[in-house]
Amino acid sequence: MADKTILDVSRWQGRINWDAVKRSGKIDGVMLRAMGNSGAGKASKPYLDPYFARNYAECARLGIPVGVYGYFKAVTRAEADKELAFFRSALGGRTFQLPVAVDIEDAYQTALGKSKLTDLVAYCLSVVESWGVYAMLYTGLYFAPNNLYMGGAALKPYDVWLAAYRKDKPAPGWPFGMWQYTSKGKIPGVSGPVDLSHAYKDYAKIIAKKGLTRLREGA
């Protein structure tokens, strides 16, 4: 399978001309931020990305495959449960052709230490997976090995979306299915630079085959 190009966007891209994005033919799917969070060094305070609903509706209208991510900052199980509940509510009854990602990259969480943070992240991923969707971990090439036991038993079951802005494909020593390779991409219809990723799996096909396109009732 040829690599697929995945765009990811949030409130920072403002109002996107999705018709122009579609016409460009430059992307194969989009990861939309649904849940943002507090600023650097601050405790968890999740919020709904103000452009999520519009971005999702436009992608659905145009038949652009969509996944979603949420920015997590929890340092306790109780905070994680609050973030997960907020994230799940944000997703609502929507359908997704691409993964549902837990974004872990915040320095606020590093004081937990590798073991506790790994366990907390694994817990978040297990809950997202229990919703009946394709759970994925988003993290950075430099953040991950210093703060998470990547490839260990707790995180091994979950696919990884790896951020590393460089020319050469990373070789971190553990598998990943998507590589966010730049934050300076150019896509018609989006003002300013954007994040772009290579996807090494046909996620839409995998997710459709496994029936993981939407949240299960009561999950």
> So what's the pLDDT on residue 218?
63
Mean pLDDT of the chain: 96
CATH no., domain 4-210: 3.20.20.80
The per-residue pLDDT for 2 is 80
Ordered by start, the domain boundaries in the chain are 4-210
CA distance 96 to 180: 19
Q: Please tell me the pTM assigned to this model.
A: 0.97
User: Long-range contact list for 18-21, CB < 8 A, 24+ apart?
Assistant: 18/55, 18/58, 18/59, 18/61, 18/62, 18/64, 18/189, 19/62, 19/189, 20/188, 20/189, 21/64, 21/187, 21/188, 21/189, 21/190
Low pLDDT (below 50) residues in the chain: none
Phi, then psi, of 135 in degrees rounded to 5: -80, 140
Instruction: Tell me whether residue 137 is exposed, middle or buried, using C-beta atoms within 10 angstroms of its C-beta: 0 to 12, 13 to 18, 19 or more.
Output: buried
Give the pLDDT of residue 211. 97
| pLDDT at res. 208 | 97
Element (H, E) at 161: strand 159-163
